[in-house]
A and B are shown apart, each in its own frame.
Chain A
Amino acid sequence: MSNNVYVIGAGETKYGELWERSLRDLAVEAGLRAIENAGIYSKDIQILYGSNSLAGIINGQENIGSLIADFSGIAAQNIPAVRIEASSASGGAAVREAYLAIRSGEYDVAVVGGVEKMTDIFGNEVLDMMSSLLDREWEAFFGATPAALAAISARKYMKDFNVKKDALAMMSVNDHANASLNLNSHFKNKITLEQALNATPVAEPLNLMDCSPVTDGASALVMASESYMKKNRLSGVKIAASAISQDYLALHSRNSLYTLDSTKIAAKEAFKRSGLKPEDMSFVELHDSYSIYGLMELEDLGFAEKGKASTLVEDDIKINGRLPVNPSGGLKAKGNPLGATGVGQFVEAFLQLSGKADKRQVKDAKYGILQNMAGTGSTSVVHIVGGD
């Protein structure tokens, strides 16, 4: 039998500013939902991957793998439980590790739990902590923040390709429209183009409506080998390809301010391995932590030529459009709990591909492509899901 890997269950908490919730109870809630959803028991889990970015500095908690295993009630099963960290791409990277573990034949059932508890810190202190995903000594030291560097890319992109700010804003308008249909999303309000264009400046030309919020939340998956799934009469969504690539840490060291080489290379690899093409995709989940990245990513994933993604933002990217983008609500509106974000993309893909996405269901969804990215593009993880 083949060693294909399936997502057989998914679960998540609400995303948002969840003041009363702790890191551990968010992780446990998502994990238990995924296990229940998969139709397995805790005792069936053979390995656990925790995905988290900043708990060490925000919550003063490391050793996340053990924390999740312990409070999920499986400590006494003595299974491996480790944390995968690749900044805001931790989630995608953890899913990939679970994929490789199952594909190798070493394990049949893995759980991936992504969690981030960001509101334990008040005010702009969290911005300093988020800047730890940049080069601390040669970017953040001089006043760079993730938003500032995205803004530097945005200004250059808009100038070189003569793209108006409207095109960036439309990505956020689309995210909010989709998030209004997602009960778990951080924001449930729709926004207009005018609102998106006239919000408080964060780092010019980007404003508050171009930036993903500070979000708490957890998302979890149960993954299994094809043989285990079939033997136990379970069902799931196939991971058709998994790829990861890495680039210079600092934006100033890269070849381009608006081509994400890590995304481009991972996408090319994922398409090659799956034998699929961009036009086969029914929907896309992008790592649009900042609106400009949404445009750059559509291009680097192969959906538009460089500088031309703005031609897709009017109609194509809507849920009922030619290429639905971020049916979940994306990072701008579903939210961006760093370590959970990439796992959350899979939760959406699982719902979409099993026809359970309710009001935001993409019609006849067959394949989805998920792109999860660290910082300003230092790591990208691209997965293609779906098919038989």
Chain B
Amino acid sequence: MGELSRIWRESEHRYRLMGNKCGHCDMVFFPIRDVCPHCHRESIGKMKPVELSGKGEIVSFTIVHDTPPSFVRQRPYTLALIRLDEGPVLTGQIVDAEKDAVEIGKRVKSVFRKIGEDGKSGIIQYGYKFVLE
């Protein structure tokens, strides 16, 4: 239903890791925000797009065994919170890593990969994942 337009709408940010920056306090956000949660009205009209490096470190992670239908074929997968060098923390998978190689604090970089497939519409969704640096 709304699936197709939702994926299309976010694709630029997911493909190129586009975030934005508050022109008032210089805080960087990902995903983009229309208003800075620290500066409120001072930030309106001052949020500037910024392309993120995709490099950062692992804040914490899990290995997911029990998955929704669209991720069954990837099971088990490693899901992490990653703090990008520019500041924002995001949620993403870590791939191509040896078992036990993933640890809190390790450096990672983003790669462009298939994320999941939608069983009903059959569309394949792309976006960022991370590999150990």
| A residues lining the B interface (CB < 8 Å) | 123-125, 127-128, 131, 137-145, 147-149, 151-156, 159, 200-206, 250-253, 257
What are 15 of the A-B contact pairs (CB < 8 Å)? A127-B67, A131-B68, A137-B10, A138-B90, A141-B115, A142-B115, A143-B64, A147-B64, A151-B64, A154-B62, A201-B63, A202-B66, A204-B63, A252-B89, A252-B90
Q: Which residue of B lies closest to A151 (CB)?
A: B62
Contact A203 B69 (CB under 8 A): no
| Listed residue (B60, B71, B80) with the most chain A CB atoms within 10 angstroms of its CB | B60
Contact B79 A159 (CB under 8 A): no
Within 90-121 of B, Cβ neighbours of A (below 8 Å) are at 90-93, 104, 115-116
Give the size category of B's interface with A.
20 to 34
Q: Which residue of B lies closest to A138 (CB)?
A: B31
A253 to B81 CA separation, bound complex (whole angstroms): 10
- Would A145 and B68 be within 8 Å (CB), given that A156-B60, A201-B63 are in contact? yes
Q: Which residues from chain B contact A139 at a C-beta distance below 8 Å?
A: 91
| Listed residue (B59, B64, B77) with the most chain A CB atoms within 10 angstroms of its CB | B64
The 7 closest A-B pairs by CB, nearest first: A151-B62, A128-B68, A156-B60, A204-B63, A252-B89, A202-B66, A203-B62
Q: Does B72 contact A (CB under 8 A)?
A: yes
Contact A143 B67 (CB under 8 A): yes
| Listed residue (B74, B88, B92, B93) with the most chain A CB atoms within 10 angstroms of its CB | B92
- Would A144 and B79 be within 8 Å (CB), given that A124-B67, A137-B10, A201-B65 are in contact? yes
| Listed residue (A142, A149, A204, A257) with the most chain B CB atoms within 10 angstroms of its CB | A142
Cβ contacts B1-30/A at 8 Å (1 or 0 each): 000001000100000000000000000000
Contact B74 A143 (CB under 8 A): yes
A144 to B93 CA separation, bound complex (whole angstroms): 9
Q: Does B53 contact A (CB under 8 A)?
A: no
Q: Does B127 contact A (CB under 8 A)?
A: yes
Q: Which residues from chain A contact B71 at a C-beta distance below 8 Å?
A: 143
Q: Which residues from chain B contact A153 at a C-beta distance below 8 Å?
A: 60
- Would A137 and B91 be within 8 Å (CB), given that A144-B79, A148-B79 are in contact? no
Q: Which residue of B lies closest to A207 (CB)?
A: B65
Contact B66 A152 (CB under 8 A): no
Contact A147 B66 (CB under 8 A): yes
Please pick, from B63, B72, B89, B127, the residue contacting A203 in the complex, using a CB distance under 8 A.
B63
Chain A proximity of B40: nearest CB distance (Å): 15
Give 8 A-B pairs besides A152-B62, A152-B80 with Cβ atoms closer than 8 angstroms.
A142-B127, A143-B68, A143-B71, A143-B79, A147-B64, A151-B64, A202-B65, A205-B62
